[in-house]
């Protein structure tokens, strides 16, 4: 399995075309419009000889279904990653859209007790409800490294780099994005979805399938605000730096502080706020501390 930024044409059903009545001042026009796709994805998991267990149903933008499924299972602490053996879409005989179901096959038995205990309910807008405590998340996160140290100029450049890579957003204006960068600002991968949590799960899933986890030498940049779930998922994947164009919630900041994540918000123009663990951002030229 190889790593790719997938900057070609969007996947099937990712974007659709609809006729709209467009009103602009005193002008009315009937024209085609490009619309972001949204459909449910049922995520199932099974070990050797097991019947697939329904884990969650999440509303998502079609495309990269396997990445979303394995990324979700990993960031929610249901698998470690190396045990993913294969995946398959739903039965084309019984389903009109087989890729609305993904079964992840594991090389070891799947423990479905955690699914029953946590009562997953997922939507594209709010992520997974009924989260365990930050303490429980900390137990399943590896300790993040002290580094990397990233130049201020790299951080400032991330929003433009993210925007330039958002092909589907350019066509629809309706997608969140999560992108993975090197400490030098090189784009590694980007994924888009109507749900910011889904975009990050797809991104993590792409790296899991490429054998790149943990992501200890990487930066995640997200297009919206930073919620608790974004920080939690990034930390589970081993990401030490999370940046966003908008604001973090207070629980996101508390989670980042506890888990050792450098959290950056309001990244716009030549400014940004560093809320936690600022040691990873090169700021000595501004402080005069040498």
- Write the DSSP string, 207-237: HHHTT--S-TT-EEEESS-B-HHHHHHHHHT
- Looking at residue 247, what is its pLDDT? 87
Enzyme catalytic residues: 126
- Looking at residue 36, what is its pLDDT? 66
- Looking at residue 55, what is its pLDDT? 92
Q: Which residues of the chain have pLDDT under 70?
A: 1-16, 18-28, 30, 33, 35-36, 38, 95-96, 116-134, 167-174, 287-290
Return the closest-CA partner of residue 174 out of 164, 182, 165, 166.
166
pLDDT digits (tens, 9 = 90+) for 89-117: 877 777 667 778 999 999 999 988 877 66
- Residue 100 is classified by DSSP as G
Q: How much of the chain exceeds pLDDT 70, in percent?
A: 76
């Amino acid at each position: 399995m190889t790593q790719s930024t997938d900057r070609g044409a969007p996947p099937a059903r990712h974007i659709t075309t609809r006729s709209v009545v467009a009103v602009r001042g005193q002008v009315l026009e009937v024209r085609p419009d490009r619309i972001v796709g949204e459909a449910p994805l049922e995520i199932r998991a099974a070990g050797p000889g097991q019947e697939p267990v329904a884990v969650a149903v999440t509303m998502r933008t079609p495309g990269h279904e396997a990445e979303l499924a394995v990324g979700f299972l990993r960031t929610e602490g249901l698998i470690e990653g190396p045990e993913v053996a294969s995946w398959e879409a739903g039965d084309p005989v019984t389903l009109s859209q087989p890729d609305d179901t993904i079964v992840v096959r594991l090389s070891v038995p799947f423990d479905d007790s955690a699914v029953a205990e946590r009562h997953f309910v997922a939507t594209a807008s709010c992520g997974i409800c009924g989260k365990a405590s930050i303490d429980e998340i900390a137990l399943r996160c590896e300790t993040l490294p002290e580094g990397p140290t990233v130049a201020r100029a790299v951080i400032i450049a991330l929003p433009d780099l993210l925007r330039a890579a958002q092909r589907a957003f350019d066509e629809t204006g309706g997608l969140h994005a999560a992108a993975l960068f090197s400490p030098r600002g090189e784009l590694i991968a980007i994924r888009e979805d109507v749900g910011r949590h889904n975009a990050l799960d797809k991104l993590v899933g792409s790296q899991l399938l490429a054998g790149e986890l943990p992501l200890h030498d990487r930066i995640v940049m997200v297009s919206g605000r930073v919620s608790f779930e974004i920080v939690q998922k990034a930390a589970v994947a081993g990401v030490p730096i999370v940046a966003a164009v908008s604001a973090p919630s207070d629980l996101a900041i508390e989670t980042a502080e506890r888990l050792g994540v450098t959290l950056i918000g309001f990244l716009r123009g030549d400014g940004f706020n560093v809320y936690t663990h600022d040691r990873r951002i090169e700021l000595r030229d501004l402080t005069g501390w040498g």
